[in-house]
Amino acid sequence: MAPVTISEGGQITIPEEIREEAGLAAGDKVILGFNDEGEIVIRKATGDIRDLRGILKRPGQRPINVEEMNEAIGDAVAEKYQRVLNQSKKQS
């Protein structure tokens, strides 16, 4: 591992030996994320959608299925609709 310093602007310089081994060059895009242990991982963006798998995972957060997502969306829509109704009642 090679230590790097984070600039005030949040930037880092990837050491040359790491760039060479990873096949990174100026202008390449990379993906930052966390692995299952909560460590920061950097990968070369290849344009393959499968490279994005797990990028939104947060340690301690369990994955949810499509049905749970749909239920959460429905609940949020219902809550927003109720808020709008309540506001319109207050204004009348």
One-letter amino acid for residue 70 of the chain: N
Region 81-92: mean pLDDT is 87
- Provide the residue ranges of all domains of the chain, joining segments of one domain with +: 1-58, 62-92
Q: With residue 32 as reference, give the H or E element that holds it.
A: strand 30-34
Say which DSSP state 50 is in: G
pLDDT value of residue 58? 77
pLDDT in tens, 30-66: 989 998 888 999 988 887 787 777 777 778 888 889 9
Percent of the chain's residues with pLDDT above 90? 49
pLDDT value of residue 71? 96
Determine the CATH number of domain 1-58.
Answer: 2.10.260.10
pLDDT value of residue 54? 74
Instruction: Tell me the sheet residues that pair with 34.
Output: 40
User: Given a cut of 90, is residue 82 above it in pLDDT?
Assistant: yes
Residue that has been written with the tokens 């949040």 in this structure: 10
